Amino acid sequence: MRLIRNKEFEGERPLYCEKDLRLENVTIHAGESALKETAVIEAVGCRFEGKYPFWCCNGFTVRDCLFTEGARAALWYSRGLLMEDCLVEAPKMFREMEDLTLRRVRIPNAAETLWSCRNVNLEDVEIQKGDYLFMHSSGIRVRGLKLQGNYSFQYCKDVEICDSVLDTKDAFWETENVTVRDSVICGEYLGWYSKGLRLVNCRIGGTQPLCYAEGLVLENCIFDADADLAFEYSSVLADIRGAVTSVKNPRTGTIVADSYGEIILDANIKAPGDCKISVR
């Protein structure tokens, strides 16, 4: 593997089509596509300032690196990424990618990040301003995620999340086969139009959660007081510990809780309208 150490590059495609290359303490200044169409790349302690540095890459490791705001859209159309201990200040990262793992990565401006990606693993990642995170992605495994940002995980399939804190409005819309365990989810309109959403040992906050859902399952979950008007038009099997502020027109299934502030079953309920709501 060829080594480049303590160097600076700028302009367009300075390391185009390189293979079997290790970069140590390298700075990529303003320019475009510094490492486009590369394979088997290692970057350690590097700084990326220019746009699109890693496009169409096959097999690369990035450790202890900084992607400044100018390095927007840095990793697209690539596969086989391991990123560890990095600070990513740039938005619109990770698009149309496959087989990527992020560990101990901080992304403070994650707007429109992780779109249309497949086979994604996140461990101890912190994300802020993460609006529309994970749009149209699949095969996602997450542990220890701290997320702030709205409209996350929309249109996703095959997702497992655990030990995470998700502060996110409109999360999990139109998803399929999603399981969240041992986590806190705070945000309005959670899980609307989802199919096969399963929440286990979770704390749920925000108005009108879990409406229009099919095959919804809750196991040993807690609702905050602001999680009102829940389950409208959903098919649901729910075991809730503590009180539920209000339930409105669930379509079918069973709901068990310690108490209810209000149960609303009105003329707008949809067939079969046979959900069994009981007190533990």
The predicted-structure confidence for 142-186, as pLDDT tens digits, reads as follows: 999 999 999 999 999 999 999 999 999 999 999 999 999 999 999
Task: Tell me the pTM.
Answer: 0.95
Q: How far apart are CA 15 and CA 34, in angstroms?
A: 5
pLDDT on residue 174: 98
The C-alpha R_g of the chain, in whole angstroms, comes to 22
pLDDT on residue 1: 87
pLDDT on residue 213: 98
Q: What is the 3-state secondary structure (H, E, C) of 52-80?
A: CCEECCEEEEEECCEECHHHCCCEECCEE
Q: How far apart are CA 165 and CA 228, in angstroms?
A: 20
pLDDT on residue 238: 98
Residue spans per domain, the chain: 1-109
- Class of domain 1-109 as given by CATH: mainly beta
Q: How far apart are CA 180 and CA 201, in angstroms?
A: 8
pLDDT on residue 274: 96
Which residue ranges of the chain lie beneath pLDDT 50? Answer: none
